Amino acid sequence: MNDTDVLIVGAGPTGLTLACTLARAGAAVRIIDKSPVPHRTSRSKGANQRTREVFADLGLGAAFDAAGVRRMVLRKYRGGVPLHDADVNEGAGSTPEVPYPTGLGIPQWRTEEILREGLAAYGVYVETGCAMAELTQDAERATVTLADGRRITAAYVVGCDGGHSAVRRALGVAFPGETREDQAGWVADVEADGLDRDYWHQWFDEDGVLLLWPIPGTRAWQLQSSVERDADGRVLPPSLDGFQRLFDRHARVPGVRLANPTWLSLYRVNSRMAERFRAGRAFLAGDAAHVHPVAGGLGMNTGVQDAFNLGWKLALVVRGEAGEALLDSYDEERRPVAAWTLQFTGERLRAAMEGTRTPGVGTEVVITDDGSTLGVAYPWSSLARGGPKAGERAPDGRARDGRRLHEAFAGPHFTLLGFGGGSGPALAEAGERCPGLLRTCAAGDAARAAYGIGAGEDALVLVRPDHHIALSTRADGRGAAEVVDLLRHLGRRAVRSA
């Protein structure tokens, strides 16, 4: 017998999201991390619109809304002179289809704290100080040996352990791509009394860059900057003295002293993707599977969305409600998204480097609608089984009983939407035959256009646990049978015989 169904290596946002998704679905899960204590560093600046939907589905939306900020005003300088303020979320409003019109500014340590609290509600806690030393697997299980010699066996292992992933190395999975040695930067968490915390201050000069973002809920700032080099052109390590020299050179604000650096890091622009995201009983997610430029803010968000895609599939398989072949759809769906992300963030980095040469232009040039990842879809997937919107994200909207559709979707189940008064019998038939996998919901007519359903048409739309459309079909006995057949392929034990 295995120690757990799923062992997650790495307790950052990707691993914690996966753990929450699995625990909620009733799967046995353990999550380990090599760090002795959780970190308190800002790292990722927050959640985009699609990630906010994921967190809301997990029941954590209110906690994130309370901890984060939606207002983000960029103040751009040249030669120390403020030139332009840009409120990047000005005028953004929710619609019936999109409940979160903006991202949410929140430091990564707080994101992880909220996810750990959510996980603890299921009785699952991060096992800290557990470094993976070895990973082996056979036809029955995967075994992780820790640095202290302990062993943990699991049906599946997921590496969510970052760009230097021990899981990826143990699997021998290549990580091709490039590291740009000529594109380096410093990042740190510092204090800077005397700056207005209503702004993300951005100094772009011809001889360097300095950005200071006020970390919500703290008195600290996240500093990003160009680097200093020695006489031979080698990059110097980040230091408080170096930060102060850059601040004095670019900001030119007398009396402001940077202090108390709690995190200092040197980064180089990397663009890499694992050659595969599955190797037998092991999977890679988040930075363990792909790394890319920070422009566009998709690093943490792509990892969270990897986890949300993989989590429901693993849960069905370990509960015996789906065949193991379902797990192949994780690589099938998410690797193309990762490839797009590498291309997109590379383009956004080039846009930033070009655009900020113009005085008064800042990082707003990297922002596009694509950065919300609401448009990420899997039309090529083997799980996209037909209909005008198959593979796309299922929009929010209203059910006939007044509920939000995304509230109806929340949980580890499929949701069958019925459009039109004539869809009731087909909904009832499918729900009766698939009680363990399926919930049904009569959709309001206002949601028709978003789902590609014509006026007056009776139709069924099957939505996956991760809010992507699997199938749209007719609302009759034949359509109900089509839904049942799809679910029977995924989970034979949950479907009653006709």
Residue pLDDT tens, the chain, 498 long: 899 999 999 999 999 999 999 999 999 999 999 999 999 999 999 999 999 999 999 999 999 999 999 999 999 999 999 999 999 999 899 999 999 999 999 999 999 999 999 999 999 999 999 999 999 999 999 999 999 999 999 999 999 999 999 999 999 999 999 998 889 999 999 999 999 999 999 999 999 999 999 999 999 999 999 999 999 999 999 999 999 999 999 999 999 999 999 999 999 999 999 999 999 999 999 999 999 999 888 999 999 999 999 999 999 999 999 999 999 999 999 999 999 999 999 999 999 999 999 999 999 999 999 999 999 999 999 999 999 899 999 999 999 999 999 999 999 999 999 999 999 999 999 999 999 899 999 999 999 999 999 999 999 999 999 999 999 999 999 999 999 999 988 844 333 333
pLDDT at 6: 98
Structure-block tokens of residue 126? 């991060």
pLDDT at 488: 87
Q: Which amino acid is at 283?
A: F
CB contact at 8 A, 103 and 43:
no
Nearest to 296 by CA among 343, 331, 263: 343
CB contact at 8 A, 471 and 407:
no
Q: How many CA atoms, within 13 angstroms, populate the side-chain half-sphere of residue 144?
A: 29
| Distance, CA of 299 to CA of 288 (rounded, Å) | 11
| Distance, CA of 25 to CA of 478 (rounded, Å) | 30
Sort 436 into a burial class: Cβ within 10 Å, 0-12 / 13-18 / 19+. Answer: middle
Distance between first and last Cα of the chain: 35
pLDDT at 11: 98
Nearest to 72 by CA among 262, 264, 166, 200: 200
Q: Where are the beta strands (DSSP E) in 167-300?
A: 177-191, 200-205, 208-214, 220-225, 259-273, 278-279, 282-284, 290-291
Kind and range of the H or E run holding 116: helix 108-120
pLDDT at 495: 39
Nearest to 463 by CA among 446, 486, 444: 486
Mind listing the domains of the chain with CATH numbers? 4-70+102-177+270-372 (3.50.50.60), 178-269 (3.30.9.10), 405-494 (3.40.30.120)
pLDDT at 493: 37
Following DSSP, what letter does each residue of 240-262 receive, concatenated?
Answer: HHHHHHHHHHHT--TT---EEEE
Nearest to 25 by CA among 287, 306, 307: 307
What's this model's pTM, rounded to 2 decimal places? Answer: 0.97
pLDDT at 352: 93
Q: Which residue's entry shows tokens 């996966």?
A: 18
